[in-house]
Structure 1
Amino acid sequence: MPRPSLKDQRSQEILDAYLTCVARFGLEGATQERIAEEAGVKRPLLRHYLGNKDEMITALADYVVSGFAESLDGLRRALHDGSTAKDLVDALFAEDVGTDPRLMLAYQALVTTVPDRPDLRQGLMDSLTDFFDVVEAILRRAAPDALDISIRAVTQGISAIFVSMDALTPLNPPEEWRAELKQAATLLASVLEAKQ
């Protein structure tokens, strides 16, 4: 198998630095100077590897969507056909696993650019829809007799709770909040299991 090219490797390193900067400073605050410093490269190399500002934003959106897809694949693999709604919540809120909080922060920053960059909307929506679909499928298997409207409502609720956990990261919230958010998701999931 051929080794990845230096350009691919360097592009990934720069994208990771860009992700860090957007998570820390927002999309507008992720200046080329900050990205270059974070990546340990000279600023002109950003253009060489990722292109102009619009191309960089597109590359970041693709990078974020790809990162979520990897996390989602991990969730699918972790939860088998006999998984319960509680298993889903445990997997989503496991402290040693999960998504990189930078992904959610960058995702949120990218969402705010959609009015100016409508080309980003579909990829971001597809990524979120894929997440909802996986959560919904697991809940349907766990509670096959639950009403569709209940499954969808619990899917939205658990997803919103999960997303808010990463969205709060910049605040460095108290550790117990994670446990409380997990408990809230567990209580919501128990609504479906109670109807069995």
Structure 2
Amino acid sequence: MRNLLEFLARYNHWLLFVVLEVIGIVLLFQYNSYQGSVWFSSANAVAGKVLSWDAKVESFFSMSKANQELTQRNLYLEQQVKLLSGQLGEATKDTGWVHRNQLALLKSFKMVPAKVVSNSVSRFDNLITINKGSADGVRKDMGVACGQGVVGIVYMVSSHYSVVIPVLNTSSNISCRIRGRGYFGYLHWSGGDPRVAYVEEVPR
């Protein structure tokens, strides 16, 4: 015990320096998304695994609610597809038209299913980490979408993980079109309410 105290007394300045360095690094990566994403890129194997384990634990506890929401969503979509298919079949006298065009549309896109392993929604510079990377065909600037619409754009890619800039990021500007008018603009979220974003640079 005495030797330990003597060691701490002799090297207390170095120990304090190391502790402060560790605290500084943790704060840097935790509260700065850009530095955090750079660290993610350089240490993706470790960071990705840790985030995946954390996401699996959270997913396990929220699985019941998610399954219920998916069931309701699927039921609604099935009803809509059935209704629209019937109306289109009556109008065109061709009941297979919808199915053929759905297949043709899907073939024009390369879809890579992925899971979110890390996500934030309470910051101005939110980022999403998904469990797919260049080895799975994901490339920078690819679009990311879910069943409810646009999610964001791929920002950084490693072998097995990718960082996505979502719509809920003040740096995000996603090209979009106003339905029924044909005007194009950029969808931008300026912070605050995550349910509200604005279409900017629309011609007047």
TM-score by length of 2: 0.29
Task: With a CA cutoff of 8 Å and minimum separation of 6, indicate the structure with the bigger relative contact order.
Answer: 1
Bigger-Rg structure (1/2) = 2
TM-score by length of 1: 0.30
Give the number of the structure whose residues are more often helix, by fraction.
1
